[in-house]
Copies of this chain bind each other. A is one copy, B any other.
């Protein structure tokens, strides 16, 4: 599962809207949509901010294998 799909899964499990999560990490909602579709090559700092806001360790967002 890509980082983006994990972000979407955890975000929806926690009932956080795309708008709210995007705002919390300082990106536009459409950018986050691209992240969740696996269209963005995130930096580690972005992943850290997302993990922090979702309340999960970075490792929970990072899998092994090529990012889809």
- Chain A residues with a Cβ under 8 A of chain B: 3, 41-45, 47-48, 57-59, 62-64, 66-67
Contacts of A57 in B (CB 8 A): 64
- Total copies of the chain: 2
A45-B64 in contact (CB<8A): no
Q: How far apart sit A26 and B67, CA to CA, in the bound complex (Å)?
A: 18
Contacts of A41 in B (CB 8 A): 43-45
A63-B58 in contact (CB<8A): yes
Contacts of A58 in B (CB 8 A): 62-64
Q: How far apart sit A41 and B57, CA to CA, in the bound complex (Å)?
A: 18
Q: How far apart sit A15 and B57, CA to CA, in the bound complex (Å)?
A: 31
A67-B45 in contact (CB<8A): yes
